[in-house]
Amino acid sequence: MPTASLNPGYSGPVRDRVENFGGAQLVYVHWEGHNNFCSAITLPLPPETPFGALTAEILPSLYSVDPDWAEVDLSTARWMLDGEDWQPEAAKGIGEQGVGHKSLIRFWTQPSGRA
């Protein structure tokens, strides 16, 4: 489009600045191949959160309700962070491993049928 209908110099309040989340960042996670979970899930996570907390507690709390989760071995999952391949380490915080405010984490586990 050749023109935007804004007066020059216009700006307004950005409501989702990271400062508004009390020390947390927003992180989106999605278990690929399981769109029975309709979309990625939004999580408020402090950047110090160890990646291991994600795999041991948070993701199971979200996804274990799916019968496929019983066969999932996250140690062999494939991960992408913000569109790039990612090899996260359990002991390190997600912030120091590149997860920023509104980052998107996608992961693939062994295929076990359509959902």
Partner 1 sequence: MAARKLNLKQKYGHFTRGLDWEPSYQSKDDIFPFAKYEGIKVHDWDAWEDPFKLTMDAYWKFQAEKERKLYAVIDSMAQNNGQLGITDARYLNAVKLFIQGVTPLEYQAHRHFAHLARHLPGAGLRVAAQMQSIDELRHCQTQIHTISHYNKFFDGIHDFTHMHDRLWYLSVPKSFFDDATTAGPFEFLTAISFAFEYVLTNLLFVPFMSGAAYNGDMATVTFGFSAQSDESRHMTLGLEAVRFLLEQDEANVPIVQGWIDKWFWRGYRLLTLVAMMMDYMLPKKVMSWAEAWETYYEQAGGALFADLARYGIREPKYADVAKAEKGHITHQAWTIFYNYTHAAAVHTWDVDDQHLAWLREKYPETFAQYYEQRYLNWRDQANQGKRFYNNGLPQLCQVCQVPMAFTEVDDPTTISFRVSEFGGDKYHTCSDGCKDIFDHEPEKYSQAWLPVHQIFQGNCGGATVPEVLDWYHINQGADNMDYAGSPEEAQWEKWMEGRRPAAPMAAAAE
> Of 62, 66, 59, which Cα lies nearest the Cα of 34?
66
Contact 107, 32 (CB under 8 A): yes
The only residue of 53, 74, 77, 104 in contact with partner 1, by rule CB under 8 A: 104
Contact 29, 41 (CB under 8 A): yes
The only residue of 23, 42, 48, 57 in contact with partner 1, by rule CB under 8 A: 42
- Point out which residues bind partner 1 (CB under 8 A): 1-7, 10-18, 20-22, 24, 26, 28, 30, 32-33, 35-44, 61-62, 65, 67, 82-83, 100-104, 106, 113-115
